[in-house]
Structure 1
């Protein structure tokens, strides 16, 4: 089978510089840290739509959730024509003391419907727990990949390392690699990975772990920014790309510090744009050099 054309999500350099605004209750909690008032669905929706309008001229892709903003973003035309639209196809449930403790495929995200509306890709979050059987995860990923393929959409999976339900010792970094070995060769077009050590280890250690991910994943992969300090993320992206990653699909490292700003739109238009442009320059620099040397 010939490789899927991923150019709808790539920059001219071949790098992926994609923005995520699909956070749900986690985003509500981020807003709640800055106000004594209840954070409404409209608060989240308005932020997501403003972020999309302001930042998509600089991003090669944007990930939006159905729960709050996908249909509204399409209807309002806030996504820049040069930015590929990615729909979250995951349904989150709180469980096990976690905001997102269980994940299933969102049956309300119909691949053929959203393909017709201009969506280029779907994304599925997968929770990797070392004490849960692999079969459920593998089955869900295979079903998701097949549904994307049948609709002509790019499939993106996002395995994240989680603590075992039974408790006990937990090696978060080992979970990142174990998830990649288990799920990284099931046919997904793009793999979205957590940054080993959250980018907070010596460069050699982070890069060695990223090289292991490259070996485990059959296809291109990108990093997310959750858990990585905003000021560390550009270096983390660079190190990952030097070891085989192809870019990023992240939100918090770009826009999180805009939440709570006196003028959120102004902060998105200046601070967030600047951060996103810097990240674009990082991936363009490294990925284009890697392609030249290949």
Structure 2
């Protein structure tokens, strides 16, 4: 039997559908969404524009998702607008990192705590951290202690802790390059190996897929970093290292690319428990909003945006496994 505290257990159930699959939408972007909207409009955007965009996405798409990830900087109206039956995750970290300092060190929002996140009605705390398992120990020990503190906070108030490690290499500037694609499996696997250790108090890992589909044989006409067989093996080896429930993040690819990536994960028989899908779902709505305003965005969300969610949900229903399967099933969990 595995013991899970009542708050964490209820939180995880609230964030997943009746089958234990996490069909979650992510729109906690802050700096990046501001840049996307500014570029589409050809001018700077107001705080109200970002809030209005997020609110519309939340209102129109959460009826079809089990959960939504939002922030308290630009997303408070979106929280109010979400479907009442949809679970809520709230981001704890400051957006971005200090590029003048080595190691992409993390930081938390100054006026926030895990307790305040819970009091705001969240069912889980989400923390994003940039992580390179090959960084010098003095940098990674800072990050390890940082994660441990957040894990202890979440344990203290009995709320699930979702960690999103985003891998990188300080010597490779473009994480979307074939150069990084070649070493990405190593980075992701070693990150999983470290961060599934119990001292971190993580309940769900929000993971990158261990490959870049754009450089996978059979999915591109250009140069490849791995054959399809090798890509499947990377999925399997990464999954074998995970001793916690894990879900995949979309990492800014298109909706179609993300569906194909998840289908490949399914072909590898990877026991993932869902997704937290962000830009793949709603990024095409940015241009619509810039050109046609709220009404145009709303119409887009009710058609193409909704279709993106439903098509991904269909893939998940055929391929994902319940989060509790990691523990051998619900009957193997003792709620205390």
TM-score, structure 2 as length reference: 0.78
Q: How many residues align?
A: 289
**Alpha-carbon shift at residue 101 of structure 1 (Å):** 4.5
Q: Which residue of 2 aligns with 1:26?
A: 32
Q: Which of 83, 98, 110 pairs up with 1:80?
A: 83
CA contact (8 A) 1:184 1:218 kept: yes
Return the structure number with greater strand share. 1
Distance 1:30 1:173, change over 3 A: farther
- How many Å apart are 1:32 and its aligned residue? 2.4
- The one of the two structures with greater contact order (alpha-carbon pairs below 8 A, sep at least 6) is 2
| Correspondence 1:1-294 to 2 at 5 A | 2-3=3-4, 4-5=8-9, 6-69=12-75, 71-74=76-79, 77-96=80-99, 101-129=104-132, 130-133=134-137, 134-164=140-170, 171-185=183-197, 186-200=200-214, 201-202=216-217, 203-241=228-266, 242-261=269-288, 262=292, 263-287=296-320
What is the TM-score of this pair, normalised by structure 1?
Answer: 0.89
1:239-281 per-position Cα deviation (integer Å, ceiling 9, x unaligned): 3343111110011110011111131121112111111011111
Structure with max Cα Rg? 2
Distance 2:213 2:97 in 1: 27
Once the 2 structures are TM-superposed, how far is the Cα of residue 157 of structure 1 from its aligned partner? 0.2
Identify if the C-alpha distance between structure 1 residues 167 and 112 changes in structure 2 by more than 3 Å, giving closer, same or farther.
closer
- Give me the whole-angstrom Cα distance separating, in 2, the residues matched to 1:30 and 1:251: 13
Distance change >3 Å, CA 111–CA 225, structure 1 → 2:
same
Deviations 1:77-133 (A, max 9, x none): 2121221110001113443279x9442133422222332332100100111133243
**Unpaired stretches in structure 1, ≥5 consecutive residues:** none
Quick one: structure 1 residues 105 and 213, their matched pair in 2 at CA, closer, same or farther if it must change by over 3 Å?
farther
